[in-house]
Amino acid sequence: MKKSTAAVWSGEGDLNTKGAATSPIVNSVAFSYKDLEAWHQVSLGKTDGFIYSRNTNPTVAVLEEKIRVLEGAEDATSFSTGMAAISNTLFTFLTTGKRVVSLKDTYGGTSKIFLDFLPKYGVDVKLCDTTDHGQLETEIAKGCDLLYLETPTNPTLKVVDIKRLADAAKKVGAVVVVDNTFATPINQNPLQSGADLVIHSATKFLCGHSDAMGGLLAGRKELVRKVYHFREINGASLQADPAYMIARGMKTLELRIERQNASAMTIARYLKTHSKVKDVFYPGLESHIGHDIAKRQMSGFGGMMSFALDGSYELVKKFLTSLQWVHLAASLGSVSTLAGPPRTTSHVELTEQQRAMLGIPESLIRYSVGIENVEDLLEDIEQALGKL
């Protein structure tokens, strides 16, 4: 079964009562049993079944099965948001005295957990320069319980070699976790590169329509189960309604991603030649610093890019407000194009100097390519650049 088929068919079937062609939304908090012994067996986890929707739910299970198959994993579980997936995973494995190695360029919320929360619980956090694989290997070798990666990163699309770092992590027995939100399972399967667990903010490309939030985790069964047991008590569970929306979105995931991969490449090439554009960050461009690694570990370069205008932040304001086919909004991975300046959105809490240290120019624009016609998007960008 190829990915597009798996996205449509996996998880479906058991719930399709009376010949329904889609799985229903099961909005039941609890599940009843006539046989107390059968109930007991499910409660003990000895047979499959549903007890209470904070643990799991039939509609949610359909979605979990889809990500399990698409990521080639033994097991999968779900969360109320992407950040719930990340925080539950980190807090499951990182207790007092443990050491985590990660990147300076992780998603803003993740970075906050590393810098503000984990140290309070006595966890030793080491964040390395994102593209310095040598430093990462050295820090991993010093002792590491969990290696946390994200690739490509936000907003400059830095690329990290998962296989190389997973090999280093294996030597010291660390659990390797990769946030695969930007790439999606269509373009990248971290488990095949040696990761133990893969995380998604399902809010983004998987849902794909900016209308539901969720988080997913897939990987080695014993590790997924540990996080699941933490989450079922902690309570950051996914509800049936958003689970249905995300599973519905995932049925068209490959179609959307193929379009977004192609459009992003076309737009990145166009921007690269434009005199008002100083720099373009897209892993599909040969000039991108992570291009060689991306070529090896990704089967498509994705729908996310960023570019710096040749000028100040004033120019960014003028350009963005001149665009027609875009929502100036946070988030990414939707059918509609979304854009915004990292300086005043994702990286607003950093000083200009901190942004410079991460290689984020003040005139940077993050652009999440939608599924609109690429000629319309190009024309729109061209007219907006023409106004500068």
What are the residue numbers of the active site? 54, 107, 179, 204
DSSP string, 91-102: HHH--TT-EEEE
- Rounded Cα distance between 321 and 380, Å, is 11
Whole-number minimum distance, CB 332 to ligand PLP, in Å? 6
Whole-number minimum distance, CB 345 to ligand PLP, in Å? 12
- By C-beta, is 82 or 185 nearer to ligand PLP? 82
Q: Which residue is nearest to ligand PLP (CB)?
A: 82
Question: Is residue 83 close enough to count as binding ligand PLP by CB under 6 A?
Answer: yes
CA atoms within 13 A on the CB side of 245: 18
- By C-beta, is 50 or 367 nearer to ligand PLP? 367
Joined tokens for residue 237: 């569970």
Build a one-symbol-per-residue string for 90-109: x at contacts with ligand PLP by CB under 6 A, - elsewhere: -----------------x-x
CA nearest 290: which of 138, 103, 157, 127? 157
DSSP string, 130-170: TT-HHHHHHHHHT--SEEEEESSPTTT-----HHHHHHHHH
Sheet strand arrangement including 277-281: 277-281, 304-309, 364-368, 338-340, 327-328
Build a one-symbol-per-residue string for 52-81: x at contacts with ligand PLP by CB under 6 A, - elsewhere: -----------------------------x
List CB contacts of 387: < 8 A, sequence separation 6 or more: 318, 319, 322
Give the number of residues in contact with ligand PLP, rule: CB under 6 A.
15
265-304 binders of ligand PLP (CB under 6 A): none
The structure tokens 């990660």 sit at 102
Question: Is residue 112 close enough to count as binding ligand PLP by CB under 6 A?
Answer: no
Whole-number minimum distance, CB 44 to ligand PLP, in Å? 32
- By C-beta, is 50 or 181 nearer to ligand PLP? 181
Question: Is residue 203 close enough to count as binding ligand PLP by CB under 6 A?
Answer: yes
Cβ-contact 208, 252 below 8 angstroms: yes
DSSP 8-state symbol, 73: -
- By C-beta, is 23 or 334 nearer to ligand PLP? 334
CA nearest 338: which of 173, 166, 155, 123? 155
Question: Is residue 213 close enough to count as binding ligand PLP by CB under 6 A?
Answer: yes
- By C-beta, is 81 or 102 nearer to ligand PLP? 81
Question: Is residue 231 close enough to count as binding ligand PLP by CB under 6 A?
Answer: no
- By C-beta, is 89 or 384 nearer to ligand PLP? 89
- Rounded Cα distance between 84 and 69, Å, is 21
143-202 binders of ligand PLP (CB under 6 A): 150, 154, 179, 181-182, 201
Question: Is residue 307 close enough to count as binding ligand PLP by CB under 6 A?
Answer: no
DSSP string, 263-315: HHHHHHHHHHT-TTEEEEE-TTSTTSTTHHHHHHH-SS--SEEEEEESS-HHH
The binder of ligand PLP chosen from 66, 204, 231, 256 (CB under 6 A)? 204
CA nearest 210: which of 354, 332, 37? 332
Cβ-contact 322, 384 below 8 angstroms: yes
Question: Is residue 367 close enough to count as binding ligand PLP by CB under 6 A?
Answer: no
CA nearest 155: which of 336, 360, 313, 332? 360
Whole-number minimum distance, CB 2 to ligand PLP, in Å? 26
- By C-beta, is 75 or 105 nearer to ligand PLP? 105
Joined tokens for residue 358: 């991460």
Whole-number minimum distance, CB 193 to ligand PLP, in Å? 17
Question: Is residue 82 close enough to count as binding ligand PLP by CB under 6 A?
Answer: yes
Whole-number minimum distance, CB 114 to ligand PLP, in Å? 13
8-37 binders of ligand PLP (CB under 6 A): none
Per CB under 6 A, residues contacting ligand PLP are 81-83, 107, 109, 150, 154, 179, 181-182, 201, 203-204, 213, 215
